[in-house]
Amino acid sequence: MAEGILELAQELAEISRLVEDDDVSTTLSRFVRRMVQTVPDCDESSLTVLANGQPEIVARYHRTTDPISEPPRAALDAELTTKSGPVYDTLMYGEPRRIADLAVDYRWPEFAAAGINAGYRSCLFLPLPAANDDVATFSLFSGKPNAFGGTSYDLVLLLALHAGAAFDNVQLYNDSTQLVSQLQSALANRTVIGQAQGILMHRYDLSADTAFTVLKRGSQDGNLKLRALALELVEAQSNGTLTQTLTNRGLISG
């Protein structure tokens, strides 16, 4: 019993782990792979999101890569993204859907036929809990009837809860990383522009506002970004070619 609890704790820690440079796609692919590797009798797992009102599969993993099995799986994917199947119900209502045996469940006949042709007999659709506004559903498939019940269902639920938390975390991490990058870029721009202002102020005894106006005029007249012009002036000052650069840019008369 203790060994089983330890293994479950390790698995939950693994599925929640953020790896350096993880993006959302990589994280979701890791989720569905861990689902198949962890949940008893699970042969395939996928994750579907609701994008502009249309279900879209964003991650998918199955135990085998047999090319012969791919056409039936492609047909199943098509059924997963329709608005008349169990996945869409789960996405819309945020409630799990379980099919114990596709051969005797008649709620979604076209989906059931596609699932059986793909080699499956039972499946489970579980909404992914997330703090953001994204709507997502885990789909699990088994070649055995009556899979994903009892303890197996509880395990899937635990994994999905941890996956939802990690999904939120990776999106927050990515958003924060992008924000830091934007702030660093803005700071670098401000620094080099300030240096160019200082050069003009010192050389021609200009005020800060006037020096900035000169830079803006040069940027507009030369169809050049303000930072690029500022960097050019800073480098020209270091190279001893400032006067020539200012003349070339029309900032002073030759």
What per-residue confidence (pLDDT) applies to 49?
82
- pTM, two decimals, is 0.58
Q: Which stretches of the chain drop beneath a pLDDT of 70? A: 1-25, 65-69, 129-134, 151-189, 253-254
Q: What is the DSSP string of the chain?
A: -HHHHHHHHHHHHHHHPPPTT--HHHHHHHHHHHHHHHSTT--EEEEEEEETTEEEEEEEEES---GGGHHHHHHHHHHHTSTTSHHHHHHHH---EEES-TTT--SSHHHHHHHHHTT-SEEEEEE---SSS--EEEEEEESSTT-S-THHHHHHHHHHHHHHHHHHHHHHHHHHHHHHHHHHHHHHHHHHHHHHHHHHHHHHT--HHHHHHHHHHHHHHTT--HHHHHHHHHHHHHHT-HHHHHHHTTSS--
pLDDT for position 19: 46
- Report pLDDT for 121: 96
Domains of the chain listed by start with CATH number: 2-171 (3.30.450.40), 177-248 (1.10.10)
Could you report the per-residue pLDDT of 68-120, keeping only the tens digit for each?
567 888 889 899 999 989 999 998 888 889 999 999 999 999 999 999 999 99
Q: What does the mean pLDDT of the chain come to?
A: 76
Output the pLDDT for position 5. 39
pLDDT number for residue 165 = 54
